[in-house]
Amino acid sequence: MILDSKIPAGPLAEKWTKHKFNSKLVNPANKRKYEVIVVGTGLAGASAAASLAELGYNVKAFTFHDSPRRAHSIAAQGGINAAKNYQNDGDSVFRLFYDTVKGGDYRAREANVYRLAEVSVKIIDQCVAQGVPFAREYGGLLSNRSFGGAQVSRTFYARGQTGQQLLLGAYSALSRQVANGKVKLYPRSEMMDVVMIDGQARGIVTRNLITGAVETHTAHAVLLCTGGYGNVFYLSTNAMGSNVTAAWRAHKRGAYFANPCFTQIHPTCIPVSGDHQSKLTLMSESLRNDGRVWVPATKETAEKLRKGEIKVNDIKEEDRDYFLERKYPSFGNLVPRDVASRNAKYVCDEGRGVNETGEAVFLDFRDAIKRDTKAIIASKYGNLFDMYKQITGEDPYQVPMMIYPAVHYTMGGLWVDYNLMTTIPGLYALGEANFSDHGANRLGASALMQGLADGYFVIPYTIGDYLAQTLPKSIDANHPEFIKAAEEVKNRISQLLKINGKKSVDYFHKKLGKIMWNECGMARSAEGLKKAKAEIKELKRDFWADVKVLGTNEELNLTLEKAHRVADFIELGELMIDDALSREESCGGHFREEYQTPEGEALRDDENFAYVAAWKYMGENQEEELHKEPLVFENVKLTQRSYK
């Protein structure tokens, strides 16, 4: 199959307007004859479900959470970008577009990114109208800050809880449509499969998480808004329930998976404290504005510190290595996420890491407190310092914080065209679940923007074009394909329950996470990746022979839920390894040790790898097939990133 991205012709700035005009419309009286399924009620899903219901479509919204308000989007802290240029500091749609393409290390589609920047301004208007309490200045206008090293202040925020406020805004719009009877909500329902009739997505199979009932639901189009797959690494900043199951089942039905190996590792997270660790907590990136990153200059000092023979505050200035400031004099502690993360790994690999585990570096506010006073530092970061103290029991005003990189976001996802449709007609992917806008690295505050852009302002237009070409006939819920798909899900459930092996689901998840983190994390090599592939294959065999899933299907069964998800993560892990192996270059978050500059920086290969890698599922235990969508850059010049 040739991948057709359906990028409209014409100048960049006119593509979206023209495309909207050229898209077919569904007659208002007919809209209520169409059913749309939205899986996921995070920013992308809630905004899409509300907007489509407002247009008149009948929407069924599914979430495995007990309420739409609990989606992982709720946890986003920092903010949301928009090219409003309220600060008069030179921002524009083109600049946001340019920064995003460059930040993504030139592995995203120009047309999609431009559209994202274009609709970003409307998102802020929408959220304010809903009553989202963004931060404001004394004059009553909206406040902005610069985020993640951006040269302009374009980030809107609501204290440290931007994701929460945006999600509650979308949730309120969704709730209004539930009250209007236009959205039927299915909480605690997990999507287990897509149902295809004549090559088109026509519904889904779900499991009711309270009763275990396996149910089928019909629709004229299905939207997957199911978030990212960072939990393939076991430890990540994602919520515990975040998973790849919906996307993976769609992949197995024919939706291509794009750039699976593109993952983002965030440099400032609270380090792992022991084997019991269940998730990692992000400390806002803004801390690097004032904190200085360092480790002891020698292995010996680091060792003494780890053993508790010396105290951190006794380490003299000349025995400290401010490695980011040393290596990158012009950007210093503010280098991009991937560079900061990788360098923390290097110094720890050299044996200079701190914390009992040796896997942490210091983020020190001593000098900032001396310069600005404790009160000023507290006013900027007080809540973060408190949170740190609550988790670690240490006071960052007295001793430096300890941080270490952690998996945070997945740029890869289901391949979609300009309309956000996957390679399965009628099946769409929105938000973090798709691959489309962030290339090989996502800029801070751009995921919230993308989720809401997809849901509020893109899908309401593009879905019409597809539905207008589909007859509004009701779909037969008793079609053999529905019965077959439900049977398959039931079989898989009983298969899992039958194994009754010796190892817990978490045992497999942790083991998978270790393999992925060691070999497909911050630095990757052909040798390591090949080793990991063999290990994952073995892990998969072991899982299906020896996993222990207790209880029955007909009850709330968290182990069974998790077993499904981990089984899918294992398969995804193998594909990520394949993708990382085949991309013989370094770009953004993907760092192949074989491809670096003499100074140890990522070395891109635009001649051979300026493409989207889209993988096609070929059957159980078969190697997947790689399809390439070439990336064409007409509006930006490809340059090597440098932060020296």
Partner 1 sequence: MQLTLKIWRQKNASDKGGFATYPVDHVSKDMSFLEMLDVLNEELTEKGQDPVHFDHDCREGICGSCSLYINGKPHGPLQTTTCQLHMRSFNDGETVTIEPWRAKAFPVLKDLVVDRSAFDRIIQAGGYVSVGTGGVPDANEIPVPKTIADLAMDAAQCIGCGACVAACKNASAMLFTSAKVSQLALLPQGQVERKTRAEKMVAQMDAEGFGACTNTGACEAECPKGISITNIARMNREYFSAVVSSENL
Q: Which residues are catalytic?
A: 337
**How many residues lie near partner 1 (CB under 8 A)?**
77
* Least distance from ligand FAD to the Cβ atom of residue 161, Å: 10
Asked if 382 is part of the footprint of partner 1 (rule: CB under 8 A), the reply reads no
Q: Which does 504 bind (CB under 5 to 8 A by kind): ligand FAD, partner 1, none?
A: partner 1
Show Cβ contacts of residue 365 under 8 Å, excluding neighbours closer than 6 positions. Answer: 290, 291, 292, 377, 381, 396, 397, 400, 401
Beta bridge partners of 611: 630
Show Cβ contacts of residue 301 under 8 Å, excluding neighbours closer than 6 positions. Answer: 310, 315, 319
Asked if 558 is part of the footprint of partner 1 (rule: CB under 8 A), the reply reads yes
* Least distance from ligand FAD to the Cβ atom of residue 229, Å: 10
Which spans of this chain sit near ligand FAD (rule: CB under 6 A)?
39-45, 62-65, 71-73, 75-80, 162-163, 190-191, 225-228, 237-238, 242-243, 245-246, 282, 408-409, 431-433, 445-448, 451
* Least distance from ligand FAD to the Cβ atom of residue 156, Å: 10
Asked if 550 is part of the footprint of partner 1 (rule: CB under 8 A), the reply reads yes
Cα–Cα distance for residue pair 131/435, rounded to 1 Å: 30
Amino acid identity, residue 500? Answer: N
Binding piece for partner 1, criterion CB under 8 A, among 253-261, 276-284, 528-536, 617-625: 276-284
Q: What would the two tokens of residue 79 be?
A: 């903010």
3-state secondary structure at position 13: helix
* Least distance from partner 1 to the Cβ atom of residue 496, Å: 14
Q: Identify which of residues 248 and 328 has a Cβ nearer to ligand FAD in the complex.
A: 248
Residues 391 and 270 sit within 8 Å (Cβ to Cβ) = yes
Asked if 514 is part of the footprint of partner 1 (rule: CB under 8 A), the reply reads no
* Least distance from ligand FAD to the Cβ atom of residue 622, Å: 24
Pick from 111, 116, 117, 178: which binds partner 1 (CB under 8 A)?
Answer: 178
Asked if 165 is part of the footprint of partner 1 (rule: CB under 8 A), the reply reads yes
Q: What would the two tokens of residue 280 be?
A: 């990692």
Q: Identify which of residues 141 and 375 has a Cβ nearer to partner 1 in the complex.
A: 141
Pick from 4, 14, 89, 137: which binds partner 1 (CB under 8 A)?
Answer: 137
* Least distance from partner 1 to the Cβ atom of residue 129, Å: 4
Strands (E), 198-350: 200-208, 214-218, 221-224, 257-258, 263-269, 292-296, 320-321
Q: Which does 128 bind (CB under 5 to 8 A by kind): partner 1, ligand FAD, none?
A: partner 1
Q: What would the two tokens of residue 350 be?
A: 């050299």
| Positions in 59-118 near partner 1 (CB under 8 A) | 65-70, 72, 74-75, 84, 86
Show Cβ contacts of residue 455 under 8 Å, excluding neighbours closer than 6 positions. Answer: 43, 44, 45, 46, 47, 48, 49, 50, 51, 170, 225, 430, 431
Cα–Cα distance for residue pair 413/591, rounded to 1 Å: 19
Q: Identify which of residues 393 and 630 has a Cβ nearer to partner 1 in the complex.
A: 393
* Least distance from partner 1 to the Cβ atom of residue 46, Å: 12
Residues 256 and 415 sit within 8 Å (Cβ to Cβ) = yes
Binding piece for partner 1, criterion CB under 8 A, among 261-269, 270-278, 341-349, 418-426: 270-278
Pick from 30, 92, 281, 525: which binds partner 1 (CB under 8 A)?
Answer: 281
How buried is 558 (Cβ within 10 angstroms: 0-12 exposed, 13-18 middle, 19+ buried)? Answer: exposed
Pick from 1, 10, 17, 131: which binds partner 1 (CB under 8 A)?
Answer: 131
Asked if 276 is part of the footprint of partner 1 (rule: CB under 8 A), the reply reads yes
Binding piece for partner 1, criterion CB under 8 A, among 93-101, 179-187, 304-312, 570-578: 179-187
Asked if 506 is part of the footprint of partner 1 (rule: CB under 8 A), the reply reads yes
Asked if 393 is part of the footprint of partner 1 (rule: CB under 8 A), the reply reads yes
Q: Identify which of residues 58 and 63 has a Cβ nearer to ligand FAD in the complex.
A: 63
Cα–Cα distance for residue pair 633/107, rounded to 1 Å: 10
3-state secondary structure at position 152: coil
- Among candidate residues 632, 617, 626, the one with its CA nearest the CA of residue 583: 626
* Least distance from ligand FAD to the Cβ atom of residue 641, Å: 21
3-state secondary structure at position 559: helix
Question: Length of the chain, please?
Answer: 644
Angular region, 500: left φ>0, alpha ψ -120 to 50, beta rest: left
Pick from 98, 106, 114, 171: which binds partner 1 (CB under 8 A)?
Answer: 171
Give Cα 494 distance to the centre of its chain.
31
Cα–Cα distance for residue pair 256/276, rounded to 1 Å: 36
Asked if 277 is part of the footprint of partner 1 (rule: CB under 8 A), the reply reads yes
Residues 231 and 279 sit within 8 Å (Cβ to Cβ) = no
Residues 206 and 64 sit within 8 Å (Cβ to Cβ) = no
Q: Which does 456 bind (CB under 5 to 8 A by kind): ligand FAD, partner 1, none?
A: partner 1
Asked if 54 is part of the footprint of partner 1 (rule: CB under 8 A), the reply reads yes
Asked if 124 is part of the footprint of partner 1 (rule: CB under 8 A), the reply reads yes
* Least distance from ligand FAD to the Cβ atom of residue 189, Å: 6
Pick from 144, 153, 164, 284: which binds partner 1 (CB under 8 A)?
Answer: 164
* Least distance from ligand FAD to the Cβ atom of residue 338, Å: 16
- Among candidate residues 391, 385, 475, 393, the one with its CA nearest the CA of residue 426: 475
* One-character DSSP codes across 373-385: -HHHHHHHHHHHH
| Positions in 184-203 near partner 1 (CB under 8 A) | 185, 187
Q: Which does 44 bind (CB under 5 to 8 A by kind): partner 1, ligand FAD, none?
A: ligand FAD
Asked if 475 is part of the footprint of partner 1 (rule: CB under 8 A), the reply reads no
Amino acid identity, residue 402? Answer: M
